[in-house]
Structure 1
């Protein structure tokens, strides 16, 4: 019955959306907390830009690996319990990262944290698909994605600003404390699942679910969007910091951290374009998002700082709209094995972040910003081709 689903104008809609947005904030603030610090790590630890980018890539790679087992755990233990455990472990590992004195230890704890992040990152999409009424899932997913944008933005701004005021370890310690408080709010606010059917953990069923979705060309195309687009976003932002540290910009770590306030455009676009996809169709809105990303990538070749900021705003606006549309589209088209569909989308998403983000370091070292732009143009163009040939 429709009344058993979370309706758009009900108190549960806002409780659940608030909780999921807070969970997204914690997840993505921690996941991207080191991105604004990459130039600092390169200087402080005497490593290359590609090696510094590993502080982000090991987390996204570990998260991608954990996504292979998270759906099975959530099918057995329940959606809310897995998401809550994920947030608790994320906060605890944050304290360990802040206490790390050597780069190898930092990488190790970042990998542990990345593994723990998978619980909420994978299951939030499944929770939305199971618990929200069909006519508000696009909006609910848009609100969740806006939480990812806020988290990604604030994680970078907090660490960049506090590092300039104190130190990188103090900045990450404060983030761990904030994460602990947000986890408590999540535990209280999120309504329990009403449409979750507990199943015993089964490796065979997990493989069956993954195989089911990977054999569907349109669904595989949506997974590829995650790989291509997230890889492009991380590559641009990873090496923008190195570019702006150089002459003629000579920006500080704190100033570079504040550049991530551009993510505010993504907070708006994820909600607005997510709801538009409910009305005008996912394919049509996705093509608009990709056109914006392509334009932003080309404009970033400008040397004027104001035009570079505008370019990143265009790309970010388009990216978060695309992410909201594709993630909701992926869940809606998953008639069976819904948790596995969400996990596969995010698996591709974070493998793209890890592999392409780290690969961009070699592109940057060889060809600087024009090389990075060329790489991202190819990624976005591939996504446009996939969308053009997909079904509505």
Structure 2
């Protein structure tokens, strides 16, 4: 049986879900758990980040062409982080989730937090596991009381969370405030402190500026993960290249956020000493097409000076993209492709145990444009044809070398009509 969150599934069902995802070219946790990744260098670097002796945040960016498995890699790292005792959060940048706006980015990160053994997401599951007498919580409480950020909001709301046990509505408001919602007012918090005899021990001031408050929320949440016995929080950010669609000002703001997350010298003070690991993925051509050809190397720092945005953080963000770890393409990973073929064949047999183990097909010629996604779909298509029709002759799968797509008669007819 396979335990995903709180749901147990048979090995055959898990394998079928994995094969269905691979058949459609979209990785899911089932496929990732079975196949792993072929990017060993990145996995080793990630292991070093997870096991670093220092509690300071660490991070890395990876870059790769379309189809080299960036999203698959992030899901793989997410599963590995869970096995190592981390909470995780994976977000995908889009027009609806702008990278350069922390007031939208951080709440989404916190809303997507997953625990290793729960399917539910968000801070509610973490807060529900707090055990006030555990040493891990007492260490967390000591850290909160000594933290110099937040004008007293963090120790005050944490103390109220302890006292309000049983009052689900008020507890929910506190956790939603931690997660980024404006659910608490200053006068309301002060009144609750008085009502529960905590006014003498805790004082609360005006809320900090919005951006500082959101960085504080991220650091607080990472420490909150440690309070329930986890090692910290791993945040994974996919499709960073979509900031290419932004205006120059929005790209500048995005570079600044990348500089804050992935730059050692530009890390916000609020995040220092937080048990936080950050991983981001961007396309390989972003540096060439946006930083160089569009001129962001020169334009972005100038725009930052004009708009009073941290020029240092903007430069650090662009430098992080330049230093991103390149992923290996298919043509550079022949042995890894062979090993993955055997894994996919094993997985296919688990999915369809009544069918004999599929014979291993020939690996097609590997070009710089060949994608792992297209290769796996090619294998599964061949096995599907054999399983449905039991052909005696060798199956010939046609494939466009440039796109990796398998053409069909229907598509050709539509193209002819067009």
For this structure pair, what is the TM-score category when the shorter chain's length is used for normalisation?
A: under 0.3
Q: In proportion to residue count, which structure has more helix? A: 1
Q: Identify which of structures 1 and 2 has the higher relative contact order when contacts are C-alpha pairs closer than 8 Å and 6+ apart.
A: 1
